[in-house]
Amino acid sequence: MERTSQIADIDGPVHYIDHGGTGPAIVMVHGLGGSHLNWELVGPDLAGDYRPYAVDLRGFGLTPLGSHSASLKSQVALLVRFIEEVAGGRALLFGNSMGGLIAMLLAAHHPQLIDGLVLLDPALPMRSIKNVNRITVARLGLPVLPWLGEEAVRRFAASGTPEERVDATWRILTARPNRINATTQANTIEMTRLRDTMEWAPEAYCEAIRSITATLSRRRRFRDMVHRIAAPTLLVHGMLDEIVHFEGAEWLAAERPDWRFAPIPDAGHIPQLELPVRTMDIFRDWMGTAVPAV
């Protein structure tokens, strides 16, 4: 089966990529400001043994916000329906950044749907302010502010061409931007150009980041949620991540020593795009030794 672009009706249109394959379902969840493109280098590889789906969350990628919220609670509800109605009722769940946080919330509250978790640099509570840089504050801090956040996002969109903004994003998200291949670069630029025409995009971005901030600030509740997760879990984290610093991943690995922890010394925040082959090697090794057959 070939890769296809699909629309599911889940109280409104939800766009996703079906990468084909006939094995167990994998549902892949992108990060803040991301889309199905965040999985385009690993989806075809996974289709050899699985049935991978890359979902655009509400308000991101090609899924409109409509009358819905872009909060984490809303995105979890969307994915529950997606797994039940599209993915066959159970799935391995991949999540990067915000998508990793959403995956943990889903696994904690809907364990009957999850065969396993693969967390790639998931959003985590900040352990220290010593590593926060000015760019991170501007891109992630300002949108949290009521009323001012949407304007900050619009100002960033007007601050340069799509090509310039994508280049700036790779410098933040990767350890070595030149690892991003030409196809991913071109596709991301085109998606950025398209997102500039979507009037609801700033609202969705700000609503999502406010929801992330509120969830991560409740540290005791977050820790309790982490300990509710019963699914086998692989935690992959780039040691050069400038968004979710590595000390946060070390804390999470210490909280759940039963999870497989796989640091990548020379990766940033998006290892599945920066080092897709190494990321898939880590996943397959874990599947071969730690996860029961699904």
Average pLDDT over residues 7-11: 97
Q: Assess if residue 210 is contained within a domain.
A: yes
3-state secondary structure string across 147-205? CHHHHHHHHHHCCCCHHHHHHHHHHHHCCCHHHCCHHHHHHHHHHHHHHCCCCCHHHHH
Rounded to whole angstroms, the Cα distance separating 277 from 92 reads 19
For residue range 159-199, what is the model confidence (pLDDT) as tens digits? 889 999 999 999 999 999 999 999 999 999 999 999 999 98
pLDDT at 148 > cutoff 70 = no
Does residue 58 sit within a domain?
A: yes
The pLDDT of residue 144 is 54
Write the burial class of residue 159 (CB in 10 Å: 0-12 exposed, 13-18 middle, 19+ buried): exposed
Q: Is residue 222 part of a domain?
A: yes
Q: Does the pLDDT at position 151 exceed 80?
A: no
Give backbone dihedrals phi and psi of 91, rounded to 5 degrees, phi first: -160, 155
Nearest CA to 104 out of 122, 127, 89 is that of 122
Average pLDDT of 221-229? 98
Distance CA 79, CA 29 (A): 9
Bridging pattern class, strands 260-264 and 233-238: parallel
Q: Are 142 and 152 in contact (CB under 8 A)?
A: yes
Q: Does residue 129 have a pLDDT over 90?
A: no
Residue 15: CATH number of its domain: 3.40.50.1820
Structure tokens at 214: 């509120």
What is the number of alpha carbons within 13 Å of residue 92 lying toward its C-beta?
24
Q: Is the pLDDT of residue 6 over 90?
A: yes
Mean pLDDT calculated for residue range 132-142: 52
How sure is the predictor about 128, in pLDDT bands with cuts at 50, 70 and 90?
low
Q: What is the pLDDT of residues 245-275, one digit of tens each?
A: 999 999 999 999 999 999 999 999 999 999 9
User: Is residue 78 one of the residues assigned to a domain?
Assistant: yes
Q: Can you tell me the distance from the alpha carbon of 268 to that of 111, in angstroms, rounded to the nearest whole number?
A: 30
pLDDT higher than threshold 90 for residue 143: no
Q: What is the mean pLDDT of the chain?
A: 91
Total structural domains in the chain?
Answer: 1
Residue 155 domain boundaries? 4-289
Question: In this structure, is residue 75 part of a structural domain?
Answer: yes
Query: Which tokens is 113 given?
Result: 């749907």
Say whether pTM exceeds 0.85.
yes
Residues 6+ positions from 150 with CB-CB distance below 8 Å: 143, 202, 203, 206
Does some domain include residue 254?
yes
In this structure, is residue 294 part of a structural domain?
no
Q: How confident is the model at residue 139 (pLDDT cuts 50, 70, 90)?
A: low
Residue 145 scores a pLDDT above 60: no
Q: What is the pLDDT of residues 52-78, one digit of tens each?
A: 999 999 999 999 999 999 999 999 999
224-254 as b/e, with b when 16 or more CB fall inside 10 Å? ebbeebebbbbbbbbebbbbbbbebbeebbe
Residues in the chain: 294
**What proportion of the chain, given as a percentage, has pLDDT over 90?**
82
Instruction: List alpha helices for the chain, DSSP H.
Output: 43-46, 72-85, 98-109, 134-136, 148-157, 162-173, 182-195, 201-217, 219-228, 246-255, 271-274, 276-289
Is residue 109 a part of any domain in this protein? yes
